[in-house]
Homo-oligomer: A and B are copies of this chain.
Amino acid sequence: MVDKKVSIIDVAQRANVSITTVSRVLNKVPTVNKEIVERVEKVIGELKFKPNPTAQRLARGIENTAIGFVIPGYPGIFHSFYAVELMRGIGHGCETLRMDLIFHITDGTNPLRTSYAGGLIFADIIENLPQVDAAVREGVPCLVINHIVKDLKVSFLAVDNIKGGHMAGKYLTSLGHKRIATITGNLQTQAGIDRLEGFKKALLEEEIECPKGYIFEGDYSRRSARQAAEHFFSLEDPPTAIFAASDDMALEVISVAMENGIKVPEDISVIGFDDNPAGLFGPVGLTTIKQPLFTMAAEAVKVVHELMSGKQENVVRRVLDPDLIVRESCAQPSI
């Protein structure tokens, strides 16, 4: 049966050696007699002995080498290019630094068991500002991604979403569009709010109206984009251009358009946000605002690692610039 209590002592006794020797063969110290090595290994096999990693860490004086990645569990988050890119970046960063990656999928209510994690990365924050607060208060090194945190002394790495939204709006107006609509992201997220704000600002600068009916509150999902598109297309005075706050949504808008015989970009211009590679393979290359998700996430790991090791003591706060990627989904209005 299973004995959970086989310890190094049992092995030592049964093999007639000291625990030190057992430890040596465990750690492959080369100065051990071959015969003994064999004997010990045999016993280890017989007893199915597995060294206790916790004890090893303690004895070795190993600092905590795990980073927790806290990701809000709201429906759909995982389906987004956004979350996925972050995960890839974080995975990559951890791999490079040989850190363990611990996942916390949270709805923001649970107190967040830090457990092994010596540092925390929050993928955006929605309902879980209190968790960030608690972590900071406890002195756990942490960093928030894609959220410019003003009221808390915590590190963050964020994309300038206001600028991004502004770029999108500006590009559309520069093409000559006057009737420009937008599908917002989840307005619970700062990114959603900021992209909308930047977009509005761009229109304002050109003194272009953006009536209520031209602003549809989405949530980054294809589903909401479909509703939005159907709404826009049914308007008496439909827009000639649409800014979708994510590529997924932009792609869905294009789908709906084509289903209705509306040509992109001839009849309607569509610009997205993300630079999701999926935008390359549709019927028409998607013009979009690129944000360095992968890089940002990888960088986040590096920063938290420095925070953990004490190499960096101050909060680091960095805002990155998005880029306009011009492909084929936007053109001058035909009218």
> Contact residues of A with B, CB < 8 Å?
1-2, 4, 48, 50, 52-55, 57-58, 62-66, 69, 73, 78-79, 81, 84, 87-88, 91-92, 94-95, 98, 100-105, 110, 113-116, 138-140, 222-223, 226, 255-256, 258-259, 278, 281-283, 310, 313
Contacts and interface: CB of A to CB of B under 8 A. Distances in A.
B283 A259 contact: yes
Contacts of A54: 54, 57-58, 62, 64
Given A88-B105, A101-B103, A226 B258 contact: no
Contacts of A283: 255-256, 259
Copies of this chain per assembly: 2
A223 B1 contact: no
A16 B62 CA distance: 28
Contacts of A62: 54
Contacts of A57: 54
Contacts of A104: 101
Contact of A258 (B53, B102, B114, B259): B259
Contacts of A114: 53
Nearest to A59: B58
